[in-house]
Amino acid sequence: MPSNAHFYQPAQGHGLAHDPFNAIVGPRPIGWISSRDRAGVLNLAPYSFFNAFNYVPPIIGFASVGYKDSVRNIEQTGMFCWNLATRALAEQMNASCAAVDPDVDEFRLAGLTPAESQVVDVPHVAEAQVAFECKLTQLIRLETAGGDAVDTWLTLGEVVAVHIDQALLVDGVYQTAAAKPILRGGGPADYFQIDAANAFKMFRPGA
């Protein structure tokens, strides 16, 4: 690290034109989450504080900054779906993030089709090339280092069913780049697209 590196402590401000945090921890995969409230109203929203956390069983999670409709629905029903956000669905994914009343169905808002799921009673996005059906495992309210509660909710779920478009499977191997997944960068509008040209291989030591 050069001696003139920009240094800051987030609690005291970053001192830059824009907070660099999201741009540094990026690009992030997108948790495009569908859920349903107790009354049956569908919900769809993107979350880029998202990742996978376990292989067996597969567990994914996203963080809602504020107790948003997705979290409320998932707490009520114990289930949700994850949908792969791709370049072809970027506009629809973006449209689904609109801050609308809880009784607005973002599938309809974004012009997407709800497809019935097999295991959980929450639809996934029919147009998505991959979808996971998930059951809530933990809902964790985040805390500061000092133990103060933060209004951010980490929602973790076990993936109990997986749907993959056959077009993404070659000889039984899933082709990550084939779907052209999109990831979120920093700033108000930065995204990245996964392309096969950017891939490289590196095996673990001893592998």
Ligand X SMILES: Cc1cc2nc3c(=O)[nH]c(=O)nc-3n(C[C@H](O)[C@H](O)[C@H](O)COP(=O)(O)O)c2cc1C
Do the beta carbons of residue 166 and residue 178 sit within 8 Å? Answer: no
Do the beta carbons of residue 69 and residue 8 sit within 8 Å? Answer: no
Is residue 135 within the footprint of ligand X (CB under 6 A)? no
Please select the residue that binds ligand X; options are 30, 89, 125, 179, rule is CB under 6 A.
Answer: 30
Dihedrals phi, psi of 137, to nearest 5 degrees = -110, -45
Size of the site for ligand X (CB under 6 A): 18
Please select the residue that binds ligand X; options are 22, 77, 94, 137, rule is CB under 6 A.
Answer: 94
CA 160 to CA 119: how far, in whole Å? 7
- Among 9-17, 67-75, 120-128, 154-162, the segment contacting ligand X (CB under 6 A): 67-75
CA 142 to CA 156: how far, in whole Å? 13
* Shorter beta-carbon distance to ligand X: residue 71 or 120: 71
Is residue 48 within the footprint of ligand X (CB under 6 A)? yes
Is residue 34 within the footprint of ligand X (CB under 6 A)? no
- Among 46-54, 126-134, 135-143, 161-169, the segment contacting ligand X (CB under 6 A): 46-54
Copy the structure tokens of residue 77: 């029903």
Side chain identity at residue 105, one-letter code: D
CA 114 to CA 48: how far, in whole Å? 21
Copy the structure tokens of residue 68: 């948003």
Smallest separation, CB 131 to ligand X (Å):
17
Is residue 97 within the footprint of ligand X (CB under 6 A)? yes
Output DSSP code: residue 164: E
Is residue 132 within the footprint of ligand X (CB under 6 A)? no
Chain contacts with ligand X (rule: CB under 6 A): 30, 43, 45-49, 63-66, 68-70, 94, 97, 99, 184
